[in-house]
């Protein structure tokens, strides 16, 4: 197989470099990249940590779709020539490595961080079988890999749009009885650049490796915002 890998570093222009790899049984894109780095090209930069689909570090755009390199089997890809590119909408650091700072910035802009309520309300036992917990059961599984921000077409056009991950996180917090920032967050969510900017294209939901549906979270928040008017 041939891997067409995006190469870029500050100071030199971007280019695409082709690497020929022998696809052995069970070999993933990450295995291939590691093999290239250890063998033919030690200058190739990419990010990974756990190698087993737990951490989300190796998120990249493989064959036009956001995927984790460690979970993408070469044998499952339809073409023998595979393009490997860094995530979209994040500043490049080098080659396939991107700066995830916008992810954090968008989270903060939406107040998508837990703010404990005052007094005893800050503590509550939220059982696994409670309705409160079931509503967010899927949404709290986000590990912040950034793939949904890369897939979202609205993120590309609006720098102030928080994006799927931040809005999904905001959804979990708005339903959290221990959180004390509901009113402030609701105001931010009603702004011109937040909930209304989502067009429910569900690209984020399609690529999420944790099978979360940020689209559901966003539409749910939107319904809550409308109902709050009455």
Give the interface with another protein as residue ranges (CB under 8 A).
6, 8, 10, 14, 63-65, 83, 85-92, 99, 151, 153, 156, 199-203, 205-206, 213, 215-216, 219-220, 222-223
Provide the minimum distance between the beta carbon of 89 and another protein in the complex, in angstroms, as a whole number: 6
Provide the minimum distance between the beta carbon of 104 and another protein in the complex, in angstroms, as a whole number: 15
Nearer to another protein, 126 or 206 (CB): 206
Nearer to another protein, 187 or 201 (CB): 201
Q: Is residue 154 helix, strand or coil?
A: helix
Q: How far apart are CA 221 and CA 164, in angstroms?
A: 12
Provide the minimum distance between the beta carbon of 168 and another protein in the complex, in angstroms, as a whole number: 12
Is beta strand 12-20 parallel, antiparallel or unpaired with respect to 65-68?
A: unpaired
Contact 149, 102 (CB under 8 A): yes
Nearer to another protein, 24 or 134 (CB): 134
For residue 14, is it left (φ>0), alpha (ψ between -120 and 50) or beta?
Answer: beta
Provide the minimum distance between the beta carbon of 153 and another protein in the complex, in angstroms, as a whole number: 6
Contact 41, 19 (CB under 8 A): yes
Q: How far apart are CA 131 and CA 188, in angstroms?
A: 26
Nearer to another protein, 16 or 49 (CB): 16
């Amino acid at each position: 197989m041939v891997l067409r890998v995006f190469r870029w570093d500050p100071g030199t222009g971007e280019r695409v470099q082709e690497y020929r790899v022998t696809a052995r049984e069970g070999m993933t894109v990450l295995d291939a990249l590691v093999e290239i780095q250890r063998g033919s090209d030690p200058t190739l930069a990419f990010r990974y940590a756990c190698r087993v689909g737990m951490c989300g570090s190796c998120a990249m755009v493989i064959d036009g779709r956001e995927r984790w390199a460690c979970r993408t089997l070469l044998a499952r890809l339809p073409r023998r020539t595979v393009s490997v590119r860094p995530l979209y909408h994040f500043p490049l650091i080098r080659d396939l490595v991107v700066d995830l700072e916008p992810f954090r910035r968008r989270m903060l802009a939406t107040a998508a961080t837990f703010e404990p309520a005052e007094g005893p309300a800050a503590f509550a036992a939220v059982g696994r079988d409670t309705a409160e917990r079931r509503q967010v059961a899927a949404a709290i599984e986000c590990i912040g890999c950034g793939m949904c921000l890369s897939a979202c077409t609205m993120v590309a056009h609006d720098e102030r749009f928080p994006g799927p991950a931040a809005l999904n996180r905001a959804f979990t917090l708005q339903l959290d009885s221990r959180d004390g920032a509901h009113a402030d967050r609701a105001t931010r969510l009603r702004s011109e650049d937040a909930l209304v900017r989502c067009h429910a294209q569900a690209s984020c939901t399609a690529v999420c490796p944790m099978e979360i549906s940020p689209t559901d979270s966003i539409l749910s928040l939107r319904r809550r915002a409308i109902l709050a008017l009455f």
